Chains A and B, each alone.
Chain A
Amino acid sequence: MRTIKNILVAVDLMEDSTFIAAYAKLFSERLQAKMTVVYATPPLSQYFGLYLPQDTISKFHEESEQGATQELDKFVKQHFEGIETQQRLANGQPQDVILGVAKEGNFDMIIMGTHSRKGVDRLMFGSVANHVVKQADIPVLTVRPDMQ
């Protein structure tokens, strides 16, 4: 018999992830499953082409990580009050981060949004969900952001 006791919830905090939270909450409650919320911060390598002194880059990196930690913490408090939830923050391409965390963490299910950003980013993020659905060893629940 299948069980789902450990759910990985992938969020993109640059965008509204409330719609994912609603389903994550429903599933974790009904399945009595633990949740880990993972947020992949985009690699900062995109800025490396700019002329910036090394210490500016490290400072930038540090501040960005701090900001992301706060955002993640706020998100979890706001949506998952009173539910056993862990937080993971990782820097990297979202699909690699999500698949990597899923593999090492003994999860039974992934919940994530499909495209959420606009324009080119939206295409990119859409492909994240597509990539995870194709590669993941465990069931993946995809939720579209504009669902009513």
Chain B
Amino acid sequence: MRTIKNILVPVDVMEDNEYFIEYAKLLAGKLDAKITLLYARPPLDRFYDVYLTDDIVEKLKADSKQRALDELEKLSEELLGEVDVAIKLRRGQPQDIIMDMIHSDEYDMVIMGTHCRKGVERVIFGSVANRVVKHSNTPVLTIHPAECKG
């Protein structure tokens, strides 16, 4: 018999996450599973050519890390209530981080949202979900936000 005890839920704290976290909550409750909220922060390289002193860069990094952690805590408290939640913050390209986590074999399911962006961004994000669906060695539940439904 299959079991699902630890669900990986990648989020993007810059975007709406509620529409798929609702499902994560429902399923974690019914399956009696834990949830790991993962936020992969994009690399900071893009700021490096701006003229900034090292201590400003360090402070920026620390601030951004703390803000991301605060956002994750908030998501967990506001949307997941009594579910057992772990929080993971990583730095790197989201698709690589998500695949690395999946391949760690700690998780038996992935729940992820897609975002309805337009044009190139949509194609790029679509490719993250597509890649995860194709290569994940655990089941993947993908959910579209309501406003993308047509």
Contacts and interface: CB of A to CB of B under 8 A. Distances in A.
Binding site secondary structure of chain A:
mixed
Given A22-B2, A26-B4, A139-B141, A130 B30 contact: no
Contacts of B129: 133
A142 B30 contact: no
B142 interface: yes
Given A143-B139, A144-B136, A23 B2 contact: yes
Interface of A: 1-4, 22-23, 25-26, 30-31, 109, 114-115, 126, 129-130, 133-134, 136-137, 139-144, 147-148
Binding site secondary structure of chain B:
mixed
Interface of B: 1-4, 22-23, 25-26, 30-31, 126, 129-130, 133-134, 136-144, 149
Given A139-B23, A139-B141, A114 B133 contact: yes
B22 A2 contact: yes
A141 B26 contact: no
Nearest to B130: A130
A139 B139 contact: no
Contacts of A143: 139
Contacts of B143: 139
A118 B3 CA distance: 28
B19 to A, nearest CB: 9
Contacts of A136: 144
Contacts of B31: 26, 30
B133 A142 contact: yes
A83 to B, nearest CB: 14
A111 B130 CA distance: 16
A30 B1 CA distance: 13
Contacts of A109: 141
B68 to A, nearest CB: 26
The 8 closest A-B pairs by CB, nearest first: A30-B30, A139-B143, A143-B139, A137-B149, A22-B2, A141-B141, A2-B22, A26-B2
B133 A130 contact: yes
B139 A23 contact: yes
